[in-house]
């Protein structure tokens, strides 16, 4: 009798308990995640960011306030990973992982590369971990960029430009790959 009761209990547990052990699928993100990458010989650079959309909103100076640190996107902070040292705006950036942030103004942005990765937004931004700050000039685009877009625009064999586009604004940073 005890064997039958144990068997019956085991059947009940196995037939009803599996739902609690299964992983539930993640809900779809309302703001998509995207990546942009470039390779030059053994140097690989990847940027991971969220792509919010304009959706009829005034972006710079309103949704993204002037003079405040912004994570360049939405949700998680934008992250940059590079496998070998590169030049960004003429300054050496060591291989590693970084958070890319900005302090937008109407005519220029202060671009920040910070060694604290895995941040949500820019709420816990700590300038003590800044490894690089650069000034980038804002250009007005003819085209309105509905989603925030980060891309690499190749200039030569060993040089590219990292360009951030959103609304009618464009900001670029020159990148040069070092000897291979």
Q: Which pLDDT value is given to residue 14?
A: 58
Q: Which pLDDT value is given to residue 26?
A: 63
Nearest to 177 by CA among 160, 164, 162: 160
Sequence spans of domains, the chain: 30-177
Number of residues assigned to the chain: 180
Asked whether the beta carbons of 91 and 71 are under 8 A apart, the reply is no
3-state secondary structure 20-88: HHCCCCCCCCCCCEEEEEEEECCEEEEEEEECCECCCCCCECCCECCCCCECCCCCECEEEEECCCEEE
Print pLDDT tens along the chain (180 aa): 666 656 566 565 556 555 555 567 766 667 888 999 999 999 999 999 999 999 999 999 999 999 999 999 999 999 999 999 999 999 999 999 999 999 999 999 999 999 999 988 888 999 999 999 999 999 999 999 999 999 999 888 889 999 999 999 999 999 999 976
Q: Which pLDDT value is given to residue 12?
A: 58
3-state secondary structure 140-178: EEEEEEEEEEEEEEECCCCEEEEEEEEEEEEEEEEEEEC
């Amino acid at each position: 009798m005890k064997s039958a009761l144990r068997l019956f209990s085991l059947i009940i547990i196995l037939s009803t308990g599996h739902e609690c052990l299964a992983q539930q699928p993640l809900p779809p993100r309302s703001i998509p995640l995207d990546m942009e990458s470039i390779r030059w010989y053994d140097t690989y650079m990847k940027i991971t960011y969220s792509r919010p959309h304009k959706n009829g909103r005034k972006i710079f100076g309103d949704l993204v306030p002037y003079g405040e640190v912004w994570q360049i996107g939405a949700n998680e902070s934008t992250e940059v990973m590079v496998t070998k040292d590169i030049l960004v705006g003429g300054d050496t950036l060591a291989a590693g992982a970084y958070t890319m942030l900005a302090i937008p103004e109407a005519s220029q942005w202060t671009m920040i590369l910070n060694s604290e990765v895995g941040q949500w937004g820019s709420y816990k931004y700590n300038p003590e971990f800044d490894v690089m700050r650069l000034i980038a000039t804002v250009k007005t685009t003819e085209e309105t960029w509905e989603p925030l877009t980060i891309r690499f625009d190749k200039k030569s064999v060993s040089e590219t430009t990292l360009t951030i586009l959103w609304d009618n604004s464009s900001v670029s940073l020159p990148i040069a790959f070092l000897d291979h």
